[in-house]
Amino acid sequence: MNKPIDRGKGRFTSDPLSLRKVVLMMARASAIDSHPDITEMRRRYEWAGARPSAQAIDGFALLAGLYLAISPWVIGFNDLSRLTVINLIVGLALAVLAAGFASAYGRTHGVSWVAPILGLWTIMSPWVIREADTATIWNNVVTGIVILLLGIGAVAVGTSRRT
């Protein structure tokens, strides 16, 4: 039987079944995780992310991000430290996003809108920072257009319908 335990401030029962129920309730997934709409949406995003076109977009976005990160040293930015740091940070951010899209698109589709914004920023950054020469402008504009198009493609993957 349940034998009360006196802890000095009141009486508690030592029922192992009630403790087990509490632990199971805490460990059980919430009701929203098993909702049919959520599971169908996750299934749809996993299907969309597994398509060859989505995988190609993710792979090219990863490469574009890595290129943007190393482009100051490939192109040879001359004493353009702020633009070098910006390209490094934006390129690594895009590479991390693309790796997330490739590995778990069903969980990361909500941030796919960031990729086109990174492309727009890459295009505009030489003029915003105001330290650019012809090589840096061309590098950022061409790379930014590629990133913008890949970002639009990543967003389109999440909104595509099964046919």
Per-residue pLDDT at 157: 78
Cβ(129)–Cβ(83) under 8 Å?
yes
Per-residue pLDDT at 49: 63
d(CA 59, CA 143): 15
Confidence tier at 148 by pLDDT (50, 70, 90): very high
Q: Which of 51-65, 102-116, 134-148 has the lowest mean pLDDT?
A: 102-116
Query: Which residues lie closer than 8 Å to 66 by C-beta, 6 or more apart?
Result: 91, 95
Number of neighbours of residue 125 by Cβ within 10 angstroms: 22
pTM attached to this predicted model: 0.69
Per-residue pLDDT at 55: 82
**What are the Cα distances from residue 46, in Å, to 4, 80, 88?**
52, 42, 30
Closest C-alpha to 140, from 96, 82, 53 = 82
pLDDT digits (tens, 9 = 90+) for 82-125: 888 999 999 999 999 999 887 776 667 778 889 999 999 999 99
